[in-house]
Structure 1
Amino acid sequence: MTSKSLPNSRRGTAPSAAPCRVTVCRGCCCGDPAKVPGVDHAGQIPRLREALGGAAVVRASECLDVCDQANVIVVQPSAAGRAAGGRPVWLGLVNDDDALADIAAWVRAGGPGLAEPPGVLDLYAFTVSRRVGKALDA
């Protein structure tokens, strides 16, 4: 069997069709008004989905084990972005709508591997341990 005859994914869609995924932590600390007061935690995910306009899949996750960075959002590259060298980008302290808008604009432009993030997102980006990172890829 040649590589041409292999399906491109479990769903049979082309890899380039797989969009970015945006994971919003909603574990023990992220999304908790006691840990991060003054944020409309319940409204973050719907506002992010609206701002993305279908450009990415948004999902909530249990604790991502980086509680000191609450609220955490991870932007995983699309299939095309990963093929271009993009890797998941972890963003912490995402506690305002301006940050959500910047994340959405970047993802709509292509996200990791395909578009440069707005410079302000450098202030939110952080590196996680391999153990934590692998847990999200599973």
Structure 2
Amino acid sequence: MTPPTPSRVTLCRDCCCGTPKLPGVDHEAQTTRLQSLVPTRISTCLDACDQANVVVVHPSSAARATGARPVWLGLVNDPEATEDIATWILSGGPGTTPMPPILDLYLFTPPSRRNSP
């Protein structure tokens, strides 16, 4: 039997996220930390440059089956924010464990849903 797919992460690393346009941010450390926890996909532009650095936390396959949706977090530009995300992922992530209130500071509506009816 295959173990269930854990939460996954998508990191935006293109025109604004993960670049020198955000000076003082250790993009490599953030990427390495999240890759050490869960499957991590590096994406080109997610069309949310005003929120750089963008981290999308995807629910586990089991949580997705119960209706959990990906959580988009923006302005994740310091190690403490990355650790808050890491702690949430380790406890189960979206649909499994409530999102810590501190992450409300980073939560935003993804571009594809901003103008949805």
The within-5 A match list for 1:90-105 is 90-105=72-87
Aligned to 2:39, what secondary structure does the other structure show?
strand
Q: CA deviation at 1:92?
A: 0.2
The ranges of structure 1 where at least 4 consecutive aligned residues each deviate by more than 3 angstroms after the TM superposition are none
Cα distance between partner residues in 2 of 1:130 and 1:94:
20
Deviation at 1:131, TM superposition (A): 6.5
Mapped pair 1:37 → 2:23: yes
Does residue 55 of structure 2 align to residue 73 of structure 1? yes
Displacement of 1:122: 0.4
Query: Any unmatched runs of 5+ in structure 1?
Result: 1-12, 133-138
Q: Is the 8 A contact 2:9 2:34 kept in 1?
A: no
3-state DSSP class of the match of 2:9?
Answer: strand
Kindly state the Cα deviation for residue 37 of structure 1 after the two structures are TM-superposed: 1.0
Mapped to 2, the partners of 1:18 and 1:42 lie a distance apart of 25
- Separation in 2, partners of 1:60, 1:129: 18
Name which one, 1 or 2, has greater alpha-carbon Rg. Answer: 1
Paired residue type of 1:19: P
Deviations 1:60-113 (A, max 9, x none): 111111000000000010111112321000000000111111111111111110
Q: How does 1:24-63 map to 2 (within 5 A)?
A: 24-33=11-20, 35-50=21-36, 52=37, 56-63=38-45
Q: Identity of aligned pairs, percent? A: 59
Q: CA RMSD in A?
A: 1.8
The answer to whether the 8 Å contact 1:31/1:41 transfers is yes
In the alignment, is the contact (CA less than 8 A) between 2:73 and 2:106 conserved in 1?
yes
Higher relative contact order (CA 8 A, sep 6+): 2
Partner of 1:115: 97
Instruction: State the secondary structure of the residue aligned to 2:35.
Output: helix
Taking structure 2 as the reference length, what is the TM-score of the superposition?
0.88
Q: Out of 10, 15, 22, which is 2:9 matched to? A: 22
Any gaps of 5 or more consecutive residues in structure 2? Answer: none
Shift of 1:22: 0.3
